[in-house]
Amino acid sequence: MPSDMLLAWGPYSAALVCFMLTHFLPRVGDLRGRLIMRLGRGPYFAIYGVVSVLMTVWLLVATANAPYVELWPYAAWQKWVPFVAMPFVFVLTAIGVGVETPYTLAGRRDAPTSEAQFGRAAISRHPVLLALTLWAAAHLCANGDLAHGLIFAMSVTLALGAMVLFDRAASSQLAQNDGTAAPRRFFAQAPILSLRPLLSPSWRQKNGKSMAYRAAIGLLLWLVAVSMHERILGVSPLPHW
């Protein structure tokens, strides 16, 4: 590879490698488990969350400044896809933090799985991973260049793969603890995505206020992200015809 090309892609490559390392290194040799024992679960995940956000911002900034290699031509309508999708992404994320199941990203590790049908897990057992999938797929549509295509396609793949791994872990552990019928009950009570609980008066009475509060926080964070998007990444998220 010519030296000028190597220099041009260097910042993007470095950000991508560091992003991958921060996500996969804690799994090596049970490093995450040892750090949780030393720091405590709360402090570990707080630090890891901050690092993950910083790594993501660095990668997105590096991607925005990477050499442009077109994969498909840009059309104005494509920008509407992430603009429409992102409010749902932020609401799903707000719903998903501390969701009442231990078998997902950002779920409650102490959640009693037999009560999954009574909480936000009845809407989705993988809300944060769904949010990540929707975010990446929507931005993949609007960014038809090599640098963006790689990170957004990778993000979709990782999120979907994580859902499969979490579901396998849930199936194995529930079957071991409560019998072979337990996984079917759990997956029925906590589907991938369902709006049916919103039609249930008893579910709304128990969870409606929390859902509304979290949805409002998600929409507020979306508005903040819209206002900061161009300042941080140099590209306006607002669509145009």
From its phi and psi, is residue 40 left (phi > 0), alpha (psi between -120 and 50) or beta? left
- Angle, alpha carbons 127-134-84 (nearest 5°): 115
Cβ burial of 95 (10 Å; 0-12, 13-18, 19+) is: buried
Round to whole Å and give the CA distance between 27 and 21: 10
Tokens representing 70 are 């077109």
Q: How far apart are CA 201 and CA 238, in angstroms?
A: 37
| Domain boundary assignment for the chain | 1-67, 70-241
Q: Are 241 and 76 in contact (CB under 8 A)?
A: yes
Comparing 113 with 146, the larger pLDDT belongs to: 146
Interior angle at CA 52, CA 122 and CA 207, nearest 5 = 20
Res 5: pLDDT: 67
Per-residue confidence (pLDDT) for residue 113, from 0 to 100: 67
**For 201-213, how does the pLDDT look when each residue is reduced to its tens digit (9 = 90+)?**
999 999 999 999 9
Local confidence band at 111 (pLDDT 50, 70, 90 cut-offs): confident
What's the pLDDT tens digit per position in 159-185? Answer: 999 999 999 999 999 999 888 899 999
Task: Evaluate whether 80 touches 239 at the Cβ level (below 8 Å).
Answer: yes
Q: What does the block give as tokens for 51? A: 């690092």
d(CA 156, CA 58): 19
Q: What are phi and psi for residue 145, nearest 5 degrees?
A: -120, 165
- At residue 200, φ and ψ (nearest 5 deg) are -95, 115
Number of other CB atoms surrounding residue 223 within 10 Å: 11
If 0-12 CB within 10 Å is exposed, 13-18 middle and 19+ buried, where does residue 240 land?
exposed
Q: How far apart are the first and last CA of the chain?
A: 39
The answer, yes or no, to whether residue 193 has pLDDT greater than 70, is: yes
So what's the pLDDT on residue 216?
A: 98
Residue % of the chain over a pLDDT of 70: 95
Indicate the range of 70-79, 159-168, 216-225, 230-239 predicted with least confidence: 230-239
Position 26 scores a pLDDT of 84
* Angle subtended at Cα 54 by Cα 192 and Cα 162, rounded to the nearest 5 degrees: 25
pLDDT in tens, 8-19: 899 999 999 999
